[in-house]
Amino acid sequence: MSKPEVIEKNPTNIVELKYELARIKKRDGELTFRGGKTEEYLNEFAKLSKKDALELVEKLKKLNIARLKDIFINKIIDLMPSSVAELKIILQGYTLSLSKDEMTTIMKVVKEYNK
């Protein structure tokens, strides 16, 4: 039995995962049971196109908020908060403290993509 080796770990958001799963489905013809269930979930909850998600990632990175790492940016894209209060709730699960001004700045960028 082979032992797969993890080469690197990178955080990803559900939009990127949705398109990666579509690529796998195209390559293999069909998905496994778990892959199919994952695809159903992603189709239901992925709110952005891949282009919009990539633009949003870049805009959030350009804010130059030192403590805002990739994992937090991806979580914001996954859940697409509509207010500062929702953003605060999303980030409470992490050891991250942002000022109200930083959260307001983040929300200004997110609201451009929130449909």
Per-residue pLDDT of the chain in tens (115 residues, 90 and over written 9): 678 888 898 899 999 999 999 999 999 999 999 999 999 999 999 989 999 999 999 999 999 998 999 999 999 999 999 999 999 999 998 888 899 999 999 999 999 998 7
Q: In whole angstroms, what is the distance from residue 87 CA to residue 6 CA?
A: 32
Q: In whole angstroms, what is the distance from residue 16 CA to residue 27 CA?
A: 17
